[in-house]
Amino acid sequence: MPRPLGDLEDAVMTRVWQWNRPVTVREVLEDLQQERSIAYTTVMTVMDNLHQKGWVRREVDGRAYRYTAVSTRAAYSAALMNEAWSRSDNPAAALVAFFGMMSPEQREALQDAVRMVSPGPADKAPAGPAEPTASTAEGGPPADDAAPESGR
């Protein structure tokens, strides 16, 4: 389980995740400087720490490194939620409390996610005989792809 990112680590990783491409310390620095006063060496140290912790991989590009996220923000968030949930002495109660904190939009997103990972009724139906095609149901010839080989 990943430890939660610190504030500055999160600010750096947010940019790496949003840009979704290899980034340099200079690019991250310039973007961060739009909101706060920060030194190049501070950003370089944070990015090196993120590399050491396994959050980013880096490749040499001339005299600099280019950093790329190892996983997605969604995977990070999911790991944090899973860790918090698994530490509960009553996971069902924790989920009920969590759902109670959600906005209607978040609950709708959760329902969509559950539908995506749960098999639907069509997935649960046993395999049976194929439905007749319109032509065979009406007594017509079978479809071309169902015709027997001619033995040519």
pTM over 0.95: no
Cβ atoms < 10 Å from Cβ of 79: 14
- CA proximity to 55, closest of 7, 130, 2: 2
Cβ atoms < 10 Å from Cβ of 53: 13
DSSP string covering 4-68: PPPHHHHHHHHHHHHHTS-B-HHHHHHHHTTTS---HHHHHHHHHHHHHTTSEEEEEETTEEEEE
What are 53-68's pLDDT values in tens digits? 999 999 999 999 999 9
| Average pLDDT value for residue range 45-57 | 96
What are 100-137's pLDDT values in tens digits? 999 999 999 999 999 999 876 655 555 544 444 443 34
Q: What is the pLDDT of residue 123?
A: 53
What are the structure tokens assigned to 87, written together? 């530490």
In angstroms, what CA-CA distances link 8 with 31, 36, 101?
A: 13, 11, 27
Is 131 buried (19+), middle (13-18) or exposed (0-12) by CB count in 10 A? exposed
pLDDT at 16 over 60: yes
